[in-house]
Amino acid sequence: MAPDLIVGLMSGTSLDGVDAVLVDFSEAIPVVRGNAYMPYTTDLRGRILGLHQPGQDDLHEAALLANQLAWIYAQAVSQLLQETNVSAVSVRAIGCHGQTVRHLPQQGYTLQLNNPALLAELTGITVVSDFRSRDIAAGGQGAPLVPAFHAALFRDERIHRAILNLGGIANLTNLVPGLVTAGFDCGPANMLLDAWAEKHLGSRFDEGGGWAAQGQVLPILLEQLLGHDFFAQKPPKSCGREQFNLAWLQGFLSGDERAVDVQTTLSALTASGIQQAVMRWCGKVEEIFVCGGGAYNTYLLQEIREMLPQVRLDTTNALGLAPDWVEAVAFAWLAKRTLAGEPGNLPEVTGAKGSRVLGGIYPK
């Protein structure tokens, strides 16, 4: 059977860079033929972070960054195709999520920096993008979108399984045998951990959670952080930097805390948010498989294991797909559905009025 190749691109709220995968959909189970990674520079990351808050001449800056990101996406695609020895004409499409800078579904919009028309020009490949807007137009949250892919690839007909994505935000997909798929964001993950580590260590993240492992949880601070309204909300729900950011965190700090203890407490916040979400909304989960960059935070995973001792916890490597690639493969899968005129959202997850074909198509 001839290959059915689609590139998936993902740049998430962690703002570390772009994951690119080449996915072959010619078989029943998609196969990753290759992957590439393009890191963000410190300057680019800072400029993107700057757009999360109102500033001077935001529209001009957003347009410039969208163009710059299109060039970075194109470089990632070029590197991917070179390493896999595949020509652009052999690729059916690129599924490109773009870089989220505002996510306010309660106000009727989400904003991802991207210039898909320029990306199509630079690569000579059809681009599918803007996956969230149609779901929001239909009354949904526009997120999370990956549960539909999780259900297609990871569902087991006998075992109650959940998929936990630890990106900038933590989100869960609940796969109960015989029932419809459920999913929702459950709070901050790498977003706050990375920001605090960068502020105090000068590094982009706390590798393996090694720094957090040296501190102690501050119980009063943890209780205050868990008091955020988001944790008590019923699904469907989604969140982002609008709810969880350093300014929010610092509003609870006296300044006398040890920085390492705050990092330990932030790790406990992520683990506690996940524990609460599983216990309240997911029922008797038997196994959880973790994806996203947080899958490599061994300290955080150990915390989750201790809080959910009845659940088998592993990474999606055990299911045949590396944690780093899951979201990028998901957007390749969503692009494939868009091209086929098939729905990509799950109304039970996002709260939309019904199933919708997601994304806009920019022909090569």
Same domain membership, residue 313 and residue 194? yes
Same domain membership, residue 263 and residue 116? no
Q: What are phi and psi of 297, to 5 degrees?
A: -90, 90
**pLDDT above 90 for 123:** yes
Question: Alpha carbon of 61 to those of 104, 218, 353: distances in Å?
Answer: 20, 39, 34
- 287: closest CA among 180, 161, 163? 161
Helix axes 58-84, 116-123, angle to 10 degrees: 30
pLDDT digits (tens, 9 = 90+) for 230-285: 999 999 999 999 999 999 999 999 999 999 999 999 999 999 999 999 999 999 99
Same domain membership, residue 299 and residue 171? yes
pLDDT recorded at residue 108: 95
Q: Calculate the average pLDDT of the chain.
A: 96
pLDDT digits (tens, 9 = 90+) for 170-199: 999 999 999 999 999 999 999 999 999 999
3-state secondary structure of 222: helix
User: Count of residues for the chain?
Assistant: 364
Please tell me the distance from the alpha carbon of residue 109 to that of residue 159, in angstroms, as a whole number.
37
pLDDT recorded at residue 2: 78
Same domain membership, residue 129 and residue 182? no
E strand residue ranges, 215-278: none
Same domain membership, residue 189 and residue 94? no
Same domain membership, residue 124 and residue 240? no
**pLDDT above 90 for 16:** no
Domains of the chain: total: 2
Radius of gyration of the chain (CA): 20
Q: How confident is the model at residue 60 (pLDDT cuts 50, 70, 90)?
A: very high
Same domain membership, residue 158 and residue 97? no
The residues near 174 (Cβ < 8 Å, ≥ 6 apart) are 162, 181, 182, 183, 281, 282, 283, 285
**pLDDT above 80 for 290:** yes
Please tell me the distance from the alpha carbon of residue 300 to that of residue 208, in angstroms, as a whole number.
8
Which secondary structure element, helix H or strand E, spans residue 312, and what is its range? strand 312-315
Report whether the peptide linkage leading into residue 116 is cis, meaning its omega lies within 30 degrees of zero. no
pLDDT recorded at residue 53: 79
Please tell me the distance from the alpha carbon of residue 89 to that of residue 277, in angstroms, as a whole number.
44
Same domain membership, residue 329 and residue 302? no
Q: What are phi and psi of 43, to 5 degrees?
A: -65, -45
What percent of the chain is predicted at pLDDT more than 70? 100
pLDDT digits (tens, 9 = 90+) for 143-169: 999 999 999 999 999 999 999 999 999
- pTM value is 0.93
**pLDDT above 90 for 37:** yes
Q: Which residues form the domain of 74?
A: 5-142+325-362
Same domain membership, residue 185 and residue 329? no
Beta strands 161-166 and 127-129: pairing type?
unpaired
Most distant pair of Cα atoms in the chain: their distance: 64
Same domain membership, residue 106 and residue 60? yes
| CB neighbourhood size of 148 (10 A) | 24
pLDDT recorded at residue 329: 97
Same domain membership, residue 194 and residue 305? yes
Could you tell me if 196 and 266 are in contact, meaning their C-beta atoms sit under 8 angstroms apart? yes
CATH number at residue 46: 3.30.420.40
What percent of the chain is predicted at pLDDT more than 90? 93
Could you tell me if 132 and 112 are in contact, meaning their C-beta atoms sit under 8 angstroms apart? yes
With b for 16 or more beta-carbon neighbours within 10 A and e for fewer, the 259-281 pattern comes to ebbbbbbbbbbbbbbbbbbbeeb
pLDDT recorded at residue 15: 85
**pLDDT above 80 for 218:** yes
pLDDT digits (tens, 9 = 90+) for 69-90: 999 999 999 999 999 999 999 9
**pLDDT above 80 for 1:** no
Same domain membership, residue 113 and residue 53? yes
Q: How confident is the model at residue 47 (pLDDT cuts 50, 70, 90)?
A: very high
* Mean pLDDT, residues 349-354: 96
**pLDDT above 80 for 325:** yes
Please tell me the distance from the alpha carbon of residue 204 to that of residue 198, in angstroms, as a whole number.
5
Q: Tokens representing 331?
A: 């957007």
